[in-house]
Structure 1
Amino acid sequence: MAILAGAGAAGAAQQVIQVAETLGAGVAKALLGKAVLPDTLPFVTGSIGLLGTKPSYDLMQECDTLLMVGTSFPYSEFLPKDGKVKAVQIDIDGRMLGLRYPTDVNLQGDSRKTLQALLPLLQKEDRSWRERIEKEVDRWWKVLEARAMKSAHPINPQRFFWELSPLLPDRCILTSDSGSIATWFAMDLKIREGMKASLSGNLATMCPGVPYAIAAKFAYPDRMPIALVGDGAMQMMGINELITIAKYYKRWTDPRLMIVVLNNRDLNMVTWEQRVMVGDPKFEASQDIPELNYAAYAQLIGLEGIRVEKEEDIAPALQQAMASKRPVVLDVLSDPSVPPLPPHITLKQAKNFTSSILKGDVNALGHDQTNL
């Protein structure tokens, strides 16, 4: 059995865990539900969808029953094929029931209360499926670590996220912008119990990362927001929002707030979409963006700014940022040629990528094709 949990299951974490334990199920998370369950649980397969994990993809393709809890996950190509499995959906909004997948049982109600009512009716199931899931999850984390440790120039963005993950403060609030940075947010950060995390999950809107972090700081003044932003979004709105932070932070009793900027001088997600979806090489006229020292800009307006130029500087920079007594901007010079890989690569995607190289992609020599 597979469980898909979304943001609507945020208040039902213990009930989702109890159902998964009873039925021997694995749990995948819609991107807006990333913080519903901690990634330290061995049966949690992580995010699902284009930015999801291979264990989540396999879970959906190989299960015989699907339980959807508090999610409006729209990308049905990542769910089991229509009619292949029995499906149950729980949602407080009756309009969402059966909308994304042909469900056999629809239960309208609060996720926590509905699962509590459902639990006494469930029977213990065989554990072999669950054991297989846990082995795949364990293997997947090792795959991600191996990818993160691959050499890149100047910095592998996965390497930065991999080193950031264990240093995340307890109860921190993660916000991510849209773009390739959302891939690393979805895959490489291990959520622990008590953390919060969000991004523009419905429309993939550009630029909410920094405003979300500011809002989080006002809503939860004793917690540390960490905004994860690409340089495209940073130039569109982020640098302006730093002025807002500089205006207010001295009034905060706890001034901790961090903004991570992946500085690769490329509108990276669209560049990769051009390569993989239609086989076009990078179009420099639209994809290259101006170089800017975001750390220096932060210092100019009274914040702390740290520039990370080499992979060996990641850990010291993170330790300095975590100890800062004022908001800090980490300007991370990252490699735009590291691919934000989907959990499953189709033959068409592989052919399109090869086509983009043959057409003379400017970053072709930087692509590690062993990752594709």
Structure 2
Amino acid sequence: LLGKDVLPDDLPYVTGSLGLLGTRPSWDLMMGCDTFIQIGSNIPYSQFLPEYGQARGVQIDIDPRMVGLRYPMEVPLVGDARATLQALLPRLHRKEDRSWRDEVEDGVRRWWEIVEDRASSTADPINPQHVFAEVSPKLPDDVILTADSGSSANWYARDIKIRRGMRGSLSGTLATMGPGTPYAFGAKMAHPDRPVVAFVGDGAMQMNGINELITIAKYWREWADPRLVVLVLHNNDLNQVTWEQRAMAGDPKFEVSQTLPDFPYADYATSLGLGGRFIDRPGDVGAGWDEALGADRPFVLDVVTDPEVPPLPPHVELSQATALTKAMLRGDPASAEILEQGAKGKVKELLHR
């Protein structure tokens, strides 16, 4: 996911991220390929790579200790990624048979249709995917994006279409809670002339994000472009861990540890002299983004989202389905809504196959 901004998503053959937060076309690509090149990546989820013996592996990495760590590579190339790729380019030859390329592009097209369809599903009160899908085409071409760890990273990975010139980052190695707002502040200090948008969950905001707003309030007048927007996914839940408990351990939501106290994030921002808007109706999301992106100062967009919209992986394994079923049978308080939202998501995927 750290490489999301390397290739723009508007290229028809870019399949997107790989892994738990990845896409269906990336999963299909790995499951069907006969050769793959891994460049500067240390992805720990080997279950998303081709089966051993299925594909010939080539790895480019500047650190020789990384080569072959996740997959038995046939061709290890130690060196700078750019220089190595440039040396390989003359060895590539265009094939006349474009059927495989057409299949990949068709999978990408259908995947974006699924993503857009899922984002249009109703939720209580607002589908978080809708919030991200609304802002994606509105983002400035030179925007810098940051995402916190948790469900905000899910929707950043799935629903944001990166265009050429955009940059994006998150805690992709440690998946640490809390970097979304500090990363955004750091981006503004490094590039005060560029707009910045941070996607942050309410757990991370309560952990340190609201304190970081104090720092932002101190320095924003020094920036050539004052736009720094912090989206807060306000669902009063440590949502990623709640879903991990359900889908990995088969445990129902443990409300004592997972439920967060309510907090007025937008009002808090305005008390610091920043902009802020509270949204709890789907029809207000688009206007809220317009206001935030057009503001003359940093802005907090506080959106109440449904915590029961499932972050469906690109491929649901039997163990995950079994664990989720156990969680509901054990009395998860949101069982009915989980079934409804999960069914909506899978039906929309099947309709586009």
TM range (shorter): over 0.9
1:149-197 deviation digits (Å, cap 9, x = unpaired): 1100110000110111000111100000001111001011000001100
Which whole-Å CA distance do the structure 1 matches of 2:16 and 2:237 have between them?
27
Task: Report the equivalent of 1:115.
Answer: 85
Where does the alignment leave 5 or more consecutive residues of structure 1 unmatched?
1-30
Partners of 2:309 and 2:342 within 8 A in 1: no
1:145 equivalent to 2:116? Answer yes
Name the SS for the 1:95 alignment partner: helix
Q: Which amino acid in 2 is paired with 1:311? A: P
Of 39, 56, 61, which aligns to 1:91?
61
* 1:190-201 to 2 correspondences below 5 Å: 190-201=161-172
The structure-2 alpha-carbon separation of the partners of 1:227 and 1:278, relative to structure 1 and needing over 3 Å to count, comes to: same
Name the SS for the 2:70 alignment partner: coil
1:187-223 deviation digits (Å, cap 9, x = unpaired): 1100000110000011100100000000000111111
Task: Report the equivalent of 2:198.
Answer: 227
* 1:238-253 to 2 correspondences below 5 Å: 238-253=209-224
Identity %: 58
Q: Which amino acid in 1 is paired with 2:248? A: M
1:249-269 deviation digits (Å, cap 9, x = unpaired): 112222110100000000001
Task: Report the equivalent of 2:251.
Answer: 280
Task: Give the TM-score taking structure 2 as reference length.
Answer: 0.95
Task: Report the equivalent of 2:38.
Answer: 68
1:340 equivalent to 2:311? Answer yes
Name the SS for the 1:136 alignment partner: helix
1:217 equivalent to 2:188? Answer yes
Task: Report the equivalent of 2:324.
Answer: 353
Which whole-Å CA distance do the structure 2 matches of 1:46 and 1:120 have between them?
25
Name the SS for the 1:206 alignment partner: coil
Using the TM superposition, give the Cα deviation of residue 365 of structure 1 relative to its aligned residue in structure 2, in angstroms: 2.1
Ranges of 4+ aligned residues in structure 1 off by more than 4 Å: none
Using the TM superposition, give the Cα deviation of residue 123 of structure 1 relative to its aligned residue in structure 2, in angstroms: 2.0
Which whole-Å CA distance do the structure 1 matches of 2:180 and 2:20 have between them?
20
Task: Report the equivalent of 1:43.
Answer: 13
Name the SS for the 1:226 alignment partner: strand
Where does the alignment leave 5 or more consecutive residues of structure 2 unmatched?
347-353
Of 140, 147, 157, which aligns to 1:176?
147
Q: Which amino acid in 2 is paired with 1:307? A: F
1:49-74 deviation digits (Å, cap 9, x = unpaired): 00000110110010000011221222
Bigger drift between 70-79 and 211-220 goes to: 70-79
Using the TM superposition, give the Cα deviation of residue 329 of structure 1 relative to its aligned residue in structure 2, in angstroms: 0.3
Paired residue total: 342
Task: Give the TM-score taking structure 1 as reference length.
Answer: 0.90
Q: Which amino acid in 2 is paired with 1:231? A: D
Task: Report the equivalent of 1:18.
Answer: none
Bigger drift between 110-119 and 267-276 goes to: 110-119
**What RMSD in Å do the two structures reach over aligned CA positions?**
0.9
Task: Report the equivalent of 1:27.
Answer: none
Partners of 2:310 and 2:342 within 8 A in 1: no
